Amino acid sequence: MKIFAIFCSIASLAFAEERPNILIIMSDDQGYQDAGFQGSKQAITPHLDALAKTGVRCTNGYVTYSVCSPSRAGVLTGRYQARFGHENNPVYDPLDQKEGLPLSEKLLPQYIQQVGYKTGWIGKWHLGSAPAYTPWKRGFDETFGFIGGGHCFTGWKPNQFQYTLPLIRNGESIDDVPAHLTTALGDEAANFVKRHKDKPWLLYLPFNAPHTPHEPSAQRLAKFSHISNPTRRKYLAQLSLLDDAIGSVLTALNVTSQRQRTLIFFFSDNGGHTDSGSNNSPLRGIKGSLFEGGVRVPFLVSWPEKLPAGVDYTKPVSSVDVLATSLAAAGVAMPKNQVYDSVNLVPHLSGEVKAAPHDRLFWRMHGKQLFAMREGKWKLIRLKDQAAPVLYDLEADIAETKDCATENPEIVKKMQQALDDWCKQLVNPVFPGSSIKNEDWGPGGANQKARGK
């Protein structure tokens, strides 16, 4: 029995060493075109461009919602957030027991912990601020960042306002104010990678850049002095700092010989808001809309041991697929206790499976007022009270300029029925949340201060 136990222990250790690390990097409000690997001539993103060369660029990569918090809820649960009513940005209020990702949902790190992974969250949370909703209560062993929906980047005085709250390390507030928050998050993530080089880990790294307020360093801003629009100039400088922070993490992976066995996802939480300096070309729409500019995002998947390098994948994929892909990589069976929308992307991106990961993608937004669906090349959008939905052929019209509904009544009918059937599976929003307007979330905005204080 003793020999058998030793054998099992050795086998378990060998299996652990074979399992990949999992790194989920998320930018915040990044424009669809705003990266070198997306064709931008203005955005300077050498580290992201290098990441794209080591993996797969998903040219039809989507998120499940075009606003921050619901999009993040979809990533961590592997389910459309409308299935559990998380359809608004939660108000920052540590006393509110409803505003947050419902506690009925089990999150990705909680599954990964069960097979011995070290789990970390570094960055922006925005999934509830009451104690039960915090990341250290939802499966993350190590934590560093801020709990609300946004934060200043430099020079703040810690107080009770959301954008100037103290940073939190492992559940405890700290007094330190870094020279620049984006750089600090990158350094923290690099240190996490170095500390855990001998054991599989999962790191969820959601930055708040290039979301407003744009506060790049003076030196970085000077590098974009040739950009005439001052808002665009600050945005690009902030994006450049983000790219450098991501570069710090990638360097840490390389110097610790972990890069080959690390599965990396990169995408934005939603489309850019053009009033804040982003560029979603050639897409129509912005953050908060269900046009492509709101939900189609820069999207990379890299795993050198398993996936091809420097290729494009053109079939639709979704950020909701992070859960199934990560669980499969870690050797964890997909749960069967409820409906999951997540698909393991590795067989599709590697070319092993030729079929598309999803037959259909769905969206519901803004208090059940706005709906969309993609099936193949077709995209249907409808308002709740709108008599006639609109239909776009995304292969011929990526900018969604021509409504094809009149010419394709049977396609519209079929898609409307599929959308109606999907909606029957959903629940009502479970917390009121806040306005999605940018002015409500920036410095001085109505939602900065904790409600009830």
Task: Enumerate the domain spans of the chain.
Answer: 20-358, 369-423
The H-assigned helical ranges of 321-429 are 322-330, 346-349, 409-423
Summary mean pLDDT of the chain: 92
Q: 20-358 maps to which CATH number?
A: 3.40.720.10
Q: 25 has which bridge partners? A: 205, 266
| Residue at token pair 């599965």 | 263
- In whole angstroms, what is the distance from residue 125 CA to residue 110 CA? 16
Output DSSP code: residue 100: B
Integer-rounded Cα radius of gyration of the chain: 21
Provide the pLDDT confidence category of residue 368 given band limits of 50, 70 and 90.
confident
- In whole angstroms, what is the distance from residue 335 CA to residue 333 CA? 6
Residues recorded for the chain: 453
Taking the complete model, does pTM exceed 0.75, yes or no?
Answer: yes
- Helix axis angle for 46-53 and 230-255, nearest 10°, is 50
The mean pLDDT of 86-96, rounded to a whole number, is: 95
Do 40 and 285 contact (CB within 8 A), yes or no? no
- In whole angstroms, what is the distance from residue 117 CA to residue 103 CA? 22
The conformational region for residue 224 under phi > 0 = left, psi -120 to 50 = alpha, else beta, is alpha
Provide the pLDDT confidence category of residue 438 given band limits of 50, 70 and 90.
very low
Write out the H or E segment, with its range, that includes residue 17: helix 2-18
- What pLDDT shows up at residue 17? 53
Lowest mean pLDDT among 51-60, 102-111, 444-453: 444-453
The mean pLDDT of 18-29, rounded to a whole number, is: 97
- What pLDDT shows up at residue 243? 98
- In whole angstroms, what is the distance from residue 190 CA to residue 155 CA? 23
Q: What is the 3-state secondary structure (H, E, C) of 382-400?
A: EECCCCCCEEEECCCCCCC
- In whole angstroms, what is the distance from residue 150 CA to residue 210 CA? 11
Q: 56 has which bridge partners? A: 301, 311
Which residue in 23, 195, 201, 191 sits closest to 119, CA to CA? 201
Which class is 369-423 in CATH? alpha beta
Burial group, residue 126, by CB count within 10 angstroms (0-12, 13-18, 19+): buried
Q: Which residues are annotated as catalytic? A: 68, 126
Tell me whether strands 317-318 and 311-313 are parallel, antiparallel or unpaired: unpaired
